[in-house]
Amino acid sequence: MAELSFVIPMSVMTLFWGIIGGVVPWFVPKGPNRGVIVTMLVLTAVCCYLFWLIAILAQLNPLFGPTLKNDTIWYMYYHWP
Amino acid sequence: MGSVFRSEEMCLVQLFLQSGSAYDCISELGEMGLVEFRDLNPSVNSFQRRFVSEIKRCEEMERILGYLLREIRKANIAVPEDDEICPVAPPPKHVLEIMEQLQRLEVELSEVARNKEKLQRNLLELTEYTHMLRITRTFVHSRSRNKALGPQYEEFQSIESDSAGCTGMQRLGAKLGFVSGLIHRVKVEAFERMLWRVCKGYTILSYAELGESLADLDTGEISTNVVFLISFWGDQIGQKVQKICDCYHCHLYPHPENDEERADVMDSLRTRIQDLNNVLHRTEEYLRQVLQKASESAFTWVVQVKKMKAIYHILNLCSFDVTNKCLIAEVWCPVNDLTNLRGALEEGSRKGDATVPSFVNRIPSNDTPPTLLRTNKFTSGFQSIVEAYGVGDYREVSPAPYTIITFPFLFAVMFGDLGHGMVMACFALWMVLTEKSHKRKRSDNEIWTMFFEGRYIILMMGLFSVYTGLIYNDCFSKSLNIFGSGWSVRAMFTDQQWTNETLQTNTLLILDPNVSGVFVGPYPFGIDPIWNMAVNRLSFLNSYKMKMSVIIGVMHMSFGVVLSVFNHLHFKQRFNIYLLFLPELLFLLCLFGYLVFMIIYKWLAFGARDSRLAPSILIHFINMFLMQGGDNTPLYPGQTGLQVFLVVVALLCVPVLLIGKPVYLYWLHRGGKSLRLRRGYERVRRVSEDDMSQAPAYADDEEEGFDDLMTSRDTQPKEVKTATVHTSHINI
């Protein structure tokens, strides 16, 4: 978990959704729709962050790898880094 | 703002309206849309109410307007392009004027329409006559040309050369007669056969098809007609022929004797047709003018008559007081709008020129007020979806603002395609940007109306689907490789796991994350694109999606349960927190919250190295309920003990949930601080004190049976219900 390839996305996404869910609601102008907008922002941030987090946690420690066909492997050997 | 979180506070208000200005006051209230009227005459039949005659008048006007609008639409006159046709209901004195105008218009229109029909019928007859004359001319001339062909025409000398009539026939003592006319194309063969059978060859039928098709005015269909000419001799045959023609609904026209007569008739017909066409043209112009003038105000009138009818319906709900000068109405009004209500009444009294102003009187009430949740065009779609599950109680926490996000989000979790999501979002965006013109058009297509009403919902669903599509890495079922895959095939080769020979001998090979360099790290945003090309893609994705839906579902349900706390606090039922909320939350978290914990723990603690030892969460979960140890390796030390504890706690919550609240309420109702035997008058006094302090709500109920208490358990708030529904959808 100390790998850079995990820390950078983690911090970027947490910061991004944290700003949307925690900072932006304070700047919503007062009006009849303030309650709805704040609710929407917080819920969006929570739902989207959670969804992304589950996706990355599920792939953090894979128990098995992908099974590929041999022609796919041959192609990827030459064309993928 | 409180009004989004829970429904608004309402109060019962009595309106005292002076009879003269009652109509205007109610018109003002209707324009603002503030209040809900209660029916003060529930026992009165709707035909015996006070303003029935006015309502009948309105319906008569609606009938005439409906006829008018149909005629306007038939003449293809355009609707006036006002942005909002919103006239106020007319005062009663104008109503008679409108009624008069409408009746006059109706009479005029029906007269003009009748005249037009007569003229058209006339025109049709004349046209048919002309055609008939033209075609029978060719028969006669062709006959004369065929004279040389055969003996059968010997007796029939050419008619035009015979000025004194048919002398040949006169020699035989019979007169040649002709019957000519038009008949439908489909009936011609039957007609011919009938003629042959009845007249036994004493008639000759010649016919030719009419080039153009004419519209039949009675049925309105366009049919091809055939012009025929029957020549016969003898009077009796003539009568038979007439009868047969009548039977077949032919249009008969007199046949001219000779060519000059034919030419004369044709000339006169031509001039008549021209005249008729002129007159018809003028009539149609006049009709169009009348309709055009009417269409300017017709749509305004429609709205006005509707509003009038509504006002009279409301007036029927009010009751007259003893002096018959004042109308009393009972309405539910939001507390925040009381000033607006007073303003509306003042305005109405002013418009109605009332001597005494109408006023408002707030009265206390024990009835449950109606639930009011104000919505704008964005939130109204979501509110109607929530109301499909049931309208909330008065002042209950409303789940609608949360559904604005959770409904589309859960849809997107199930949909999850970047490309299709973008298509959906663009479609919804188009609908939103052009909503003004669509609202005006008001289409009849139900499916389109359904999509249009839900345009904001579809937009949210599309936008969230784009996001979930990015995470699932699914764009039209293909994956995008934006950041570079975390799996490297080359590493398998460099580490000597695979060689070209392994590639040639095996069709399928699995990458081993244990080999260094094969798995570099998790894909930073979403699912790694390599899985799209993998054969065992579904094994990975299924496990991922199942676990994801469990986590999201449990969190959603807990959120719903937590929302109920606000209800309990608001309605000052603290006991609900201990008897309902706490057991529910404990049950949910001890079992399914623990499942979520196990899922996340397994993701973090078990890797490729110990993949052989990684236990199945499903088996663990099942064993937890059966309280079996099993052969499974534990996830963490001390797991069995913890699991037993959690199951026991959850099981203990069940009886509390089922009978805790009814028992408590029953005990309260019995008035006991503790269970003691009755001891005479002291006990009685203390009972009454206890009753008043602890159970004010039961003042009205006499004897509350135990069964009532069992059935009156609080139903779960709607958030929990919708969350459970959605989780089941995801799992399916």
What per-residue confidence (pLDDT) applies to B532? Answer: 92
What per-residue confidence (pLDDT) applies to B696? Answer: 37
3-state secondary structure of A9: helix
CA distance B10 to chain A (A): 19
Q: What is the pLDDT of residues B174-212, one digit of tens each?
A: 577 888 888 888 888 888 888 888 887 778 888 888 777
CA distance B476 to chain A (A): 20
Secondary structure letter of residue B155 according to DSSP: S
Least confidently predicted of A76-80, B373-377, B596-600, B704-708: B704-708
Question: pLDDT at residue B232 above 60?
Answer: yes
Q: What is the pLDDT of residues B509-549, one digit of tens each?
A: 888 888 888 888 899 999 999 999 999 999 999 999 999 99
Q: What is the pLDDT of residues B103-125, one digit of tens each?
A: 998 899 899 889 888 988 888 88
What per-residue confidence (pLDDT) applies to B145? Answer: 57
CA distances from B566 to B399, B470, B574 (A): 12, 36, 11
The pLDDT-based confidence of A10 (bands split at 50, 70, 90) is very high
Task: Considering only residues B336 and B726, tell me which one the structure prediction assigns the higher pLDDT.
Answer: B336
What residue type is B319 in one-letter code? S
3-state secondary structure of B483: coil
3-state secondary structure of B606: coil
CA distance B524 to chain A (A): 6
Question: pLDDT at residue B678 above 70?
Answer: no
What per-residue confidence (pLDDT) applies to B229? Answer: 85
What per-residue confidence (pLDDT) applies to A52? Answer: 96
Alpha carbon dihedral B622, B623, B626, B628, in 10-degree steps, equals 170
CA distance B698 to chain A (A): 36
- Considering only alpha carbons, which residue of chain A is nearest residue B466? A48
Is the ipTM beyond the 0.85 threshold?
yes
Task: Considering only residues B429 and B164, tell me which one the structure prediction assigns the higher pLDDT.
Answer: B429
- Considering only alpha carbons, which residue of chain B is nearest residue A81? B488
Closest of B405, B730, B719 to residue B550, by C-alpha? B730
Characterize B644-667 residue by residue with b for buried, 16 or more Cβ atoms within 10 angstroms of its Cβ, and e for exposed: eebbeebeebeebbeebbbbebbe
What per-residue confidence (pLDDT) applies to B83? Answer: 53
Choosing among B603, B616, B722, which should be mutated to test the A contact, i.e. which has the most A CBs within 10 A?
B603
- Quote the tokens at residue B331: 């309405």
CA distance B632 to B615: 6
Residue numbers in A near B525 (CB within 8 A): 9, 13, 52
Q: Do residues B390 and B400 make contact, with C-beta atoms less than 8 angstroms apart?
A: no
Residues present in chain A in total: 81
Question: pLDDT at residue B224 above 90?
Answer: no
What per-residue confidence (pLDDT) applies to B475? Answer: 93
CB atoms within 10 A of CB B523: 24
The pLDDT of B234-259, averaged and rounded, is 84
The pLDDT-based confidence of B290 (bands split at 50, 70, 90) is confident
CB contact under 8 A, B535 and A73: no
B648-651 contacts: CB < 8 A, separation 24 or more?
A: B649/B586, B649/B590, B650/B586, B650/B587, B650/B590, B650/B591
Task: Considering only residues B469 and B165, tell me which one the structure prediction assigns the higher pLDDT.
Answer: B469
Q: What is the pLDDT of residues B609-659, one digit of tens each?
A: 887 878 888 888 888 888 776 677 888 888 888 888 999 999 999 999 999
Task: Considering only residues B695 and B323, tell me which one the structure prediction assigns the higher pLDDT.
Answer: B323
CA distance B312 to B54: 7
The pLDDT of B58-62, averaged and rounded, is 90
CA distance B360 to B15: 5
CA distances from B722 to A40, B388, B529, B564, B718 (A): 18, 11, 34, 13, 6
3-state secondary structure of B223: strand
Residue numbers in A near B8 (CB within 8 A): none
- Quote the tokens at residue A51: 């969804």
The pLDDT of B584-606, averaged and rounded, is 93
CB contact under 8 A, B490 and A81: yes
* B508: nearest CB among A35, A55, A67: A67
Residue numbers in A near B506 (CB within 8 A): 70
Question: pLDDT at residue B672 above 70?
Answer: no
Residue numbers in B near A68 (CB within 8 A): 489, 508-511, 530, 533-535
Question: pLDDT at residue B345 above 70?
Answer: yes
Q: Do residues B341 and B360 make contact, with C-beta atoms less than 8 angstroms apart?
A: yes
CA distance B536 to A64: 10
What per-residue confidence (pLDDT) applies to B217? Answer: 65
What per-residue confidence (pLDDT) applies to B630? Answer: 67
What per-residue confidence (pLDDT) applies to B725? Answer: 52
Choosing among B382, B498, B540, B543, which should be mutated to test the A contact, i.e. which has the most A CBs within 10 A?
B540
Closest of B508, B482, B487 to residue B608, by C-alpha? B487
Task: Give me the phi and psi of A45, to 5 degrees please.
Answer: -60, -45
The pLDDT of B295-324, averaged and rounded, is 85
CB contact under 8 A, A50 and B555: yes
What per-residue confidence (pLDDT) applies to B685? Answer: 46
- Considering only alpha carbons, which residue of chain B is nearest residue A30? B1
Contact of A64 with chain B, judged by CB distance below 8 Å, is answered with yes
Question: What is the Cα Rg of chain B in Å?
Answer: 44
Question: pLDDT at residue B48 above 70?
Answer: yes
Q: Which residues contact B207 (CB under 8 A, 6 or more apart)?
A: B183, B188, B192, B226, B227, B228, B229
The pLDDT of B470-476, averaged and rounded, is 94
- Quote the tokens at residue B85: 């046709």
Q: Do residues B162 and B308 make contact, with C-beta atoms less than 8 angstroms apart?
A: no
Least confidently predicted of B156-160, B207-211, B463-467, B695-699: B695-699
The pLDDT of B388-404, averaged and rounded, is 90
Helix axes B594-605, B617-626, angle to 10 degrees: 140
H-run or E-run covering B59: helix B52-74
CB contact under 8 A, B522 and A68: no
Residue numbers in A near B614 (CB within 8 A): 63
The pLDDT of B439-456, averaged and rounded, is 87
Closest of B587, B553, B477, B465 to residue B729, by C-alpha? B553
Share of chain B above pLDDT 90, in %: 23
What per-residue confidence (pLDDT) applies to B54? Answer: 87
The pLDDT of B719-731, averaged and rounded, is 52
- Quote the tokens at residue B308: 């009038």
What residue type is B282 in one-letter code? R
- Considering only alpha carbons, which residue of chain A is nearest residue B499? A74
3-state secondary structure of B359: strand
What residue type is B419 in one-letter code? G
Share of chain B above pLDDT 70, in %: 84
Secondary structure letter of residue B232 according to DSSP: E
Least confidently predicted of A45-54, B289-298, B469-478: B289-298
CB atoms within 10 A of CB B127: 15
What residue type is B254 in one-letter code? P
Q: Given the structure tokens 């570099």, which residue do they identify?
A: B520
Strands B36-37 and B359-363: unpaired
CA distance A9 to chain B (A): 6
Closest of B157, B164, B186 to residue B249, by C-alpha? B186
Q: Considering only residues 4 to 63 of chain A, which have any Cβ-Cβ distance to chain B shorter than 8 Å?
A: 5-6, 8-9, 13, 32-36, 39-40, 43-44, 47-48, 50-52, 54-63
Q: Which residues contact B100 (CB under 8 A, 6 or more apart)?
A: none
**Concatenated DSSP letters for B70-139?**
HHHHHTTPPPP--S---PPPPPHHHHHHHHHHHHHHHHHHHHHHHHHHHHHHHHHHHHHHHHHHHHHHHH
Residue numbers in B near A60 (CB within 8 A): 522, 603-604
CB contact under 8 A, B401 and A76: no
Q: How far apart are the first and last CA of chain A?
A: 23
What per-residue confidence (pLDDT) applies to B598? Answer: 92
Q: What is the pLDDT of residues B128-145, one digit of tens each?
A: 888 888 888 887 777 665
Sheet arrangement for strand B225-233: B203-209, B225-233, B176-184, B251-253
- Considering only alpha carbons, which residue of chain A is nearest residue B550? A54
3-state secondary structure of B611: coil
What per-residue confidence (pLDDT) applies to B486? Answer: 87
Secondary structure letter of residue B148 according to DSSP: G
Q: What is the mean pLDDT of chain A?
A: 90
Contact of A75 with chain B, judged by CB distance below 8 Å, is answered with no
CB atoms within 10 A of CB B197: 10
The pLDDT of B273-280, averaged and rounded, is 91
What residue type is B41 in one-letter code? N
Q: Do residues B472 and B531 make contact, with C-beta atoms less than 8 angstroms apart?
A: no
Q: What is the mean pLDDT of chain B?
A: 82
What per-residue confidence (pLDDT) applies to A8? Answer: 92
Closest of B547, B546, B525 to residue B602, by C-alpha? B547
What residue type is B604 in one-letter code? L
The pLDDT of B220-240, averaged and rounded, is 81
Least confidently predicted of B49-53, B466-470, B550-554: B49-53
